[in-house]
Structure formats: structure tokens, C-alpha cells
């Protein structure tokens, strides 16, 4: 009987978009047997960690126990967890973020079988037991004699629809930009723009004041627009507000972008808001996941990362921002570039060089564009001007047919949900009852 499933993960994105759907699918697929199954999540260090990943993983009802990343090295070298967990004779280690080599080490130490979810590259395939890969490209890089270990499961990022219990509307809410007629003024309240500045410090430093400045300019063009920020579960409202504070974020004064203050909660409705210096209000949503709120948006403004995959899977039109005013903000590269970009002291210099080289190649950054191998949602890269971005958004709102075209393209290229269920089926097939 399979008693223990150990999930290895690391950063905030992996814990929220990979671990969550997989643990749900494991309980669902194993049915009655899951009552005797124990799911443990062990986190490894991540340069983008917020320190809340353990608490988030433990909040999932399907998870029985979690070990924080700060105890990972102790476990890796001694085999003992901080709380001295016991282990059953049979189990499976599932890789859902971090370094694939950890899966090999932990599997050997516990004597468990191993399953690795790999988006692009599969490593250590000679010794690991099975790979659940996003597409056949990962298999093509592997010698033929190991292909029997591989199963194409699809993209875990596409699970957001199923896991969020969200239904895609048949057509986007028609934004009405003109304020000349009274009925148009009333309808303007239905126009919602989502702002997703990121969840990591380097992105928030630029993303928050840039988004606030865009909101200020857009409010001048369209006074009745509603703005929302779905706050990442790894981020406290006070922390988010610090990036909008010109006394704590030097980029605001340096670049002339907007500042804001936290109003939490607002007395009349209990909601939390950021209020810019000119009075623009941005509602802060702490519900997670916030898919039902996002689906009300005519358009979202987002940074690169998992946000683009989630919005793409929900078929929400977006503008993707990659400001280069602070060139060392992106440090989440895989392999050696990621290691160099996150080195103490020298990391910032390496990050600037790596990002400069990457930007010169003019590669695609948003997940929907990567899926389509062409730009179907705009990617704005460079020294971004919030006024120009606001005018571009306003133009989209005046021409809803353009938003509808983007939405149709997103529907056409998004992955089908089901990767988590296929991973659960692999685990079930490997389990010995």
C-alpha cells in the first residue's frame, strides 16, 4: 500500500499554480485509497521566496504536513526533518519546482519512486523513474532508450480554469468609453482594468508605481473606470503599499511615477484600496484565486511570469510590461544565468548583463505568445511611459472588437486542463497496493 507522497517544490508560483492542482487531483484520483495516503510538501530554497510558501501549502486541505525551506539542507544531508517526521516503507517523490537533482537525492534517501514534472528540460533521466512533461519537445532531447519513462501531460499552468471553478464568458463585457450620453456614463462603471504588478520585490519596485501612474493617466481619459489588483497570497497589503510609498521606493521620485497610500479597510464596504496622490482608487483583492474578479476585466496590465499564463488560460486580454528602467529586476532565469543573477554582491551586475543580452534577442516573454510562437498579446519592452500605455489601453477600450480578437486568439492557443489529473494517474500506476 502506498502511504507517503512527498512533493518537492520551492517558489510562490510553483506552490500556487503547480502544487495546488496536483494535490487536489491526487486525492480525487486515488479515491478511497487516499484516506490512507499522506501528502507531505518539502520546500527547497528559492531566491524569489516570500517566506509564506509553507503556510500557503499547509492551507491546502489535501496536504497533511509541510516543511519550510529553511530546513531543507538539514533534511537533504541528514535525512531528518525539523519535526522528525516518520516515513512509511512505500512512497513516491513528486518534483514540482526547484532542482530536479533534489528528486533523485530524496528518492534514494527514502527508497521511494520518483516522478518529475518538466516543462522544457528533463534531467537525470537515467536514474529517475518517470517524467510528466509539458510537451513532446522535452522528450525529443532525450535518448530513445529512455522514452518509455516519459508521458506528455500538458501544461499545469492551464489548470487555472478547472481549479478556479471559473467559467469563460461567451463574449467580453462591452466596454463603453464615451461619456457624452447619460446611459454611457452609467455603463462606464462596468469597465474594469486589472493591474498585476507581480509578487516579487524586484518586479514590485517598478511594477507598483508604474501601474499606479497608468491608472492615474487612464482615469483622466475615462473617469469611471474601476481598477483592481489581485494581491498575491504571498504578499501582505502593508508590504505592497510600501512599494507605492515614495519614501520607501526611490524609483517613484527618480522616474516621476505615481505614489499611493493604503486605505485598509475602507469603512463603508470593508474593502482595502490604494489611493494615489491624485485620488485614483485601486481596489486590493485578497481572495485567492481571484479568477471570478479577473473575468470581469475588459483588459489587464501585467508583468511577465505566471500571471500571463493564468490570464491567457482565462482568455483575458492583456498588455504585458517589461520596463527596463531597472534592468536587474529580472533574475528568475533557469540554470547558470539564474545562479549568476542571484549571486551576492555581483548578482545585480550579472542580471543587467544577462537581461541586456536577452532583450537584444527580442524573444517572446508572455506565455500565450510563447504558446503561439507569435505576439498575440502586446509586449511592451523598454523605458516605458505610463501615459503612452494608458492611451493605448484607452484605444483598446474604444475598440472592443480588438479585445475580442485577442480573446479569441487566447482561446485558440491556451492549453487544455488535465495535466494534474494525468500526473495523478501516473502516480497511481506506479503505486504498489
On whether residue 271 sits in a domain, the answer given is yes
- Say what the pLDDT of residue 221 is: 94
Same-domain status, 137 and 171: no
Do residue 232 and residue 121 come from a single domain? no
Task: Verify that 375 and 426 share a domain, yes or no.
Answer: no
Question: What does pTM read for this prediction?
Answer: 0.68
pLDDT over 90 (residue 290): no
Indicate if 285 and 140 belong to the same structural domain: no
Q: Are residues 405 and 426 in the same domain?
A: no
Evaluate whether 426 touches 25 at the Cβ level (below 8 Å): no
139 and 190 co-located in one domain: no
> Which residues span the domain enclosing 27?
4-154+418-430
pLDDT of residue 340: 55
Please indicate whether residue 104 or residue 383 has the higher confidence score (pLDDT): 104
Beta bridge partners of 39: 5
Residue 128 three-state SS: coil
Q: Residue 207, Cβ neighbours under 10 Å: how many?
A: 24
Choose among 365, 369, 196: nearest CA to 290: 196
Instruction: Evaluate whether residue 160 is within a structural domain.
Output: no
Query: Both 169 and 215 in a single domain?
Result: yes
Render 161-209 in DSSP notation, one character per residue.
HHHHT----SS--------SSHHHHHHGGG-EEEEE--SSHHHHHHHHH
In a domain, 336, yes or no: yes
Q: Is the confidence at residue 292, as pLDDT, over 80?
A: yes
Identify the pLDDT of residue 411: 84
Shared domain check, 204 and 143 = no
- Taking all residues of the chain, what is their mean pLDDT, rounded to a whole number? 83
How far is Cα 309 from Cα 311, in angstroms, rounded to an integer? 6
Q: Please, are residues 12 and 48 in contact by the beta-carbon 8 Å criterion?
A: yes
pLDDT(176) > 50: no
**φ, ψ for residue 229 (rounded to 5)?**
-125, 110
Most confident of 97-101, 180-184, 370-374: 97-101
Same domain, 83 and 180: no
Q: What is the CATH number of the domain that holds 82?
A: 3.40.50
pLDDT of residue 326: 59
pLDDT of residue 51: 81
The answer on 148 and 125 residing in a single domain is yes
Find out whether 30 and 37 touch, Cβ atoms under 8 Å: yes
Check pLDDT > 70 for residue 169.
no
Higher pLDDT, 194 or 198: 194
Would you state the pLDDT for residue 170? 44
For residue 396, tell me if it sits in a domain: yes
Structural domain count of the chain: 2
Is 159 inside a domain boundary?
no
**pLDDT of 267:** 56
Tracing cell 499611493 back to the chain, one arrives at 260
Hey, which of 153-162, 326-335, 391-400, 424-433 has the most confident mean pLDDT?
391-400
Confidence of residue 353 (pLDDT cuts 50, 70, 90): low
Co-location of 88 and 219 in the same domain: no
**Do 214 and 301 touch, CB atoms closer than 8 A?**
yes
Which position has the higher pLDDT, 362 or 163? Answer: 362
In-domain check, residue 379:
yes
Q: What pLDDT score was predicted for residue 179?
A: 38
Q: How confident is the model at residue 166 (pLDDT cuts 50, 70, 90)?
A: very low
Sheet order of strands, 150-152 included: 65-67, 38-43, 4-9, 91-95, 113-118, 130-133, 150-152
Which CATH number covers residue 273? 3.40.50.2000
The reply to whether 39 falls in a domain is yes
Question: Does residue 363 sit in the same domain as residue 422?
Answer: no
| Beta bridge partner(s), residue 4 | 38, 91
* 306 domain-assigned: yes
Amino acid at each position: 500500500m502506498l502511504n507517503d507522497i512527498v512533493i518537492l517544490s520551492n517558489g510562490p508560483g510553483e506552490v500556487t499554480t503547480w502544487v495546488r492542482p496536483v494535490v487536489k487531483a491526487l486525492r480525487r484520483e486515488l479515491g478511497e485509497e487516499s484516506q490512507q495516503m499522506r501528502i507531505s510538501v518539502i520546500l527547497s530554497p528559492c531566491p524569489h521566496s516570500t517566506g509564506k510558501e509553507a503556510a500557503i501549502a499547509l492551507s491546502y486541505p489535501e496536504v497533511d504536513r509541510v516543511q519550510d525551506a529553511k530546513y531543507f539542507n538539514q533534511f537533504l544531508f541528514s535525512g531528518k526533518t525539523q519535526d522528525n517526521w516518520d516515513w512509511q516503507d512505500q512512497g513516491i517523490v513528486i518534483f514540482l519546482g526547484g532542482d530536479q537533482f533534489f528528486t533523485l537525492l530524496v528518492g534514494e534517501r527514502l527508497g521511494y519512486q520518483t516522478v518529475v514534472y518538466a516543462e522544457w528540460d528533463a534531467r537525470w533521466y537515467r536514474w529517475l523513474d518517470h517524467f510528466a512533461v509539458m510537451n513532446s519537445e522535452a522528450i525529443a532531447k532525450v535518448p530513445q532508450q529512455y522514452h518509455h519513462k516519459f508521458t506528455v501531460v500538458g501544461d499545469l499552468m492551464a489548470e487555472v480554469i478547472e481549479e478556479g471553478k471559473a467559467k469563460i464568458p461567451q463574449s467580453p463585457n462591452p466596454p463603453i468609453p464615451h461619456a457624452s450620453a447619460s446611459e454611457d456614463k452609467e455603463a462606464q462603471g462596468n469597465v474594469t482594468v486589472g493591474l498585476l504588478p507581480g509578487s516579487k520585490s524586484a518586479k514590485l519596485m517598478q511594477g507598483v508605481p508604474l501601474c499606479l501612474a497608468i491608472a492615474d493617466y487612464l482615469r483622466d481619459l475615462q473617469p469611471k473606470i474601476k481598477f483592481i489588483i489581485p494581491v498575491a497570497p504571498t504578499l501582505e497589503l502593508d508590504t505592497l503599499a510600501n512599494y507605492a510609498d515614495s519614501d520607501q521606493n526611490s524609483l517613484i521620485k527618480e522616474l516621476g511615477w505615481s505614489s499611493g497610500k493604503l486605505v485598509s479597510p475602507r469603512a463603508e464596504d470593508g474593502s482595502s484600496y490604494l489611493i494615489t496622490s491624485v485620488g485614483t482608487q485601486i481596489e486590493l483583492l485578497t481572495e485567492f484565486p481571484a479568477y471570478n474578479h479577473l473575468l470581469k476585466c475588459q483588459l489587464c496590465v501585467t508583468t511577465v511570469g505566471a500571471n500571463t499564463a493564468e490570464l491567457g488560460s482565462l482568455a483575458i486580454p492583456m498588455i504585458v510590461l517589461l520596463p527596463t528602467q531597472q534592468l536587474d529586476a529580472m533574475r528568475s532565469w533557469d540554470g547558470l544565468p539564474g545562479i549568476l543573477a542571484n549571486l551576492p554582491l555581483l548578482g545585480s551586475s550579472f542580471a543587467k548583463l544577462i537581461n541586456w543580452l536577452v532583450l537584444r534577442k527580442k524573444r517572446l516573454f508572455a506565455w500565450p505568445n510563447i504558446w503561439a510562437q507569435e505576439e498575440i498579446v502586446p509586449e511592451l519592452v523598454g523605458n516605458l511611459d505610463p501615459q503612452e500605455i494608458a492611451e493605448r489601453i484607452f484605444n483598446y477600450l474604444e475598440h472592443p472588437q480588438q479585445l475580442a480578437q485577442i480573446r479569441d486568439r487566447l482561446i485558440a492557443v491556451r492549453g487544455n486542463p488535465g495535466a494534474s489529473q494525468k500526473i495523478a494517474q501516473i502516480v497511481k500506476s506506479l503505486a504498489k497496493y
